């Protein structure tokens, strides 16, 4: 069964297709978008080794020819040198204004290739085929593209919506558990930020999904994408509500910086810890009951995930230094830290009105 979530942005409508066998169907799904039967695929070494031939066969089945390049796997690929290499390769392949570029990989590939597509010949269309859980539920949808700068993550980029997203649930079967669970950090975020019923469902079913149950995986991805699409429709360029998607991220970005963007802490793991800290902060500010952060932590523990600062291996800087790192986050507006806090599970809101002392106390105890 293949499910469809539509993102009806005026003039740039697209579908997110979610289900099994989408690599094999990729040619049939993409063909209606093409002016000529040829695509350029950009992937990473890990994804290409596992899945590129399946995608190529899927394209060939619909008579679509293809060229492909692979980049090194990992966050350091989201940088100027790899961006330059990608854009130049696409030009060498004579990708034209009406052609389609395929971003085939996790969040790094989706962000970098989407950004390359946004500037190539002043903008060509691209299709996202996300292969990590994180990319399927978050980064492939909504049009944020970009690369990292020495000054911080995702500081260079553009809003450029994909023309189609193909989230093949089968591909998740090749993820190692740690990567799956890191992606799950973004799934749980959706329940926490706006859908208490979904969080209830996750408490009951997320372990089944993590264990490989396809129906549970499809439901988790579909509900996450629906929520993301609703928020992006309300606020595509993050003037307001889209910031809700950053629940847990202000803490997370400071923790990622403090751990040197290394595999001591994966992004989704930082999001999960950040969500627990955001609920703790909300409870200490009297916005929600103390039961809420306890429930968040209990669920993360049940899933075998990191939930406290002390779960991060190695030393961390002190609370003041972490607060300082939060100040570097691009969510700073007029010099004030923007936090996503919550009045309860599923009731997040954006605020700049957070006393530094309260944040410090959470970081000291977290």
Interface residues with ligand GLY (CB under 6 A) are: 138, 142, 144, 242, 245
Q: Which two tokens stand for residue 352?
A: 């700049």
Element (H, E) at 167: strand 164-168
CB of 78 vs ligand GLY, minimal distance in Å: 14
Q: In whole angstroms, how close is the CB of 107 to ligand GLY at the nearest point?
A: 9
Is 295 among the residues known to form the active site?
A: no
Which one of the listed residues 25, 189, 217, 253 is annotated catalytic? 253
The nearer residue to ligand GLY, 99 or 195, going by C-beta atoms, is 195
Residue closer to ligand GLY (CB basis): 40 or 164: 164
Q: Which is the catalytic residue, given 51, 78, 189, 242?
A: 242
- For the CB of residue 231, give the shortest distance to ligand GLY in the complex, in Å: 8
Nearer to ligand GLY, 245 or 303 (CB): 245
Counted residue by residue, the chain has a size of 366
Q: Is there a catalytic annotation at residue 82?
A: no
Q: Which of these is catalytic: 3, 46, 238, 330?
A: 238
The residue from 29, 56, 186, 280 that is catalytic is 186
End-to-end CA distance of the chain: 42
10 by Cβ neighbours in 10 Å (0-12 / 13-18 / 19+) ranks as exposed
In this structure, how many other beta carbons lie within 10 angstroms of the beta carbon of residue 128?
28
48 vs 164 by CB, closer to ligand GLY: 164
Task: Collapse the DSSP code of 220 into the 3-class scheme (helix H, G, I; strand E, B; otherwise coil) and give the result.
Answer: helix
17 is catalytic: no
Q: Pick the catalytic residue: 189, 217, 223, 267?
A: 267
In the complex, what is the shortest distance from the CB of residue 96 to ligand GLY, in angstroms, rounded to a whole number? Answer: 29
Residue 336, φ and ψ in degrees, nearest 5: -105, 140
Local structure of 73: helix, strand or coil: coil
Nearer to ligand GLY, 133 or 316 (CB): 133
Catalytic residue flag (residue 246): yes
Percent of residues in the chain assigned helix, strand, coil, to nearest 5: 50, 20, 30
Q: Does 144 qualify as catalytic in the annotation?
A: yes
Q: Is 186 a catalytic residue?
A: yes
Active site residue 267: yes
Nearer to ligand GLY, 3 or 235 (CB): 235
Closest residue to bound ligand GLY by CB: 245
Instruction: Tell me if residue 115 falls in helix, strand or coil.
Output: helix
Catalytic residue among 249, 297, 307, 338: 249
Active-site annotation holds for 60 = no
Q: Is 85 within 8 Å of 11 (Cβ atoms)?
A: no
Q: What's phi and psi for 254, nearest 5 deg?
A: -65, -40
The strand ranges marked E within 34-161 are: 38-44, 65-71, 100-105, 125-130, 144-149, 152-159
Q: DSSP letters of 6-55?
A: EE--TT--EEEEEETTTTTTHHHHHGGG-SSSEEEEEEEHHHIIIIIHHH
State in angstroms the smallest separation of the CB of 345 from ligand GLY: 20
246: left (phi over 0), alpha (psi -120 to 50) or beta: alpha
| 308 is an active site residue | no
Whether 238 is a known active-site residue: answer yes
Write out the catalytic residue numbers. Answer: 122, 144, 186, 228, 238, 242, 246, 249, 253, 267
């Amino acid at each position: 069964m293949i499910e469809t979530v539509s993102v009806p942005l005026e003039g740039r409508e697209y579908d997110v297709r979610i289900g099994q066998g989408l690599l094999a169907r990729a040619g049939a799904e993409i063909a209606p978008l093409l002016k000529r039967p040829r695509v350029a695929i950009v992937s990473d070494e890990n994804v290409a080794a596992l899945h590129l031939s399946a995608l190529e066969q899927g394209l060939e089945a619909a008579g679509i020819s293809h060229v492909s390049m692979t980049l090194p796997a990992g966050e350091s690929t989201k940088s100027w040198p790899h961006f330059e290499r990608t854009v130049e390769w696409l030009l060498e392949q004579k990708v034209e204004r009406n052609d389609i570029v395929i971003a085939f990989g996790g969040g790094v590939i989706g962000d970098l290739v989407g950004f390359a597509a946004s500037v190539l010949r002043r903008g060509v269309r691209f299709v996202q085929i996300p292969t990590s859980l994180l990319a399927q539920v978050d980064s492939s949808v909504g049009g944020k593209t970009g690369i990292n700068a020495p000054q911080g993550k995702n500081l260079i980029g553009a809003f450029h919506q994909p023309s189609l997203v193909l989230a093949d649930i089968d591909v998740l079967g090749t993820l190692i558990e740690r990567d799956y669970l890191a992606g799950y950090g973004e799934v749980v975020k959706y329940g926490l930020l706006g859908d208490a019923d979904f969080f209830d469902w996750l408490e009951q079913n997320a372990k089944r999904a993590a264990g490989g149950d396809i129906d549970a995986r499809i439901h988790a991805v579909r509900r996450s994408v629906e929520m993301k699409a609703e928020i992006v429709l309300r606020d595509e360029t993050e003037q307001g509500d889209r910031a809700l998607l950053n629940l847990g991220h202000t803490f997370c970005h400071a923790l990622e910086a403090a751990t040197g963007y290394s595999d001591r802490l994966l992004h989704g793991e930082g999001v999960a810890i950040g969500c627990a800290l955001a609920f703790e902060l909300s409870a200490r500010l009297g916005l929600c009951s103390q039961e809420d952060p306890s429930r968040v932590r209990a669920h993360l523990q049940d899933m075998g995930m990191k939930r406290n600062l002390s779960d991060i291996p190695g030393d961390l800087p002190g609370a003041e230094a972490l607060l300082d790192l939060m100040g570097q986050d691009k969510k700073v507006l007029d010099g004030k830290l923007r936090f996503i806090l919550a009045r309860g599970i599923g009731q997040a809101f954006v605020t700049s009105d957070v006393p530094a002392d309260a944040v410090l106390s959470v970081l000291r105890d977290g």
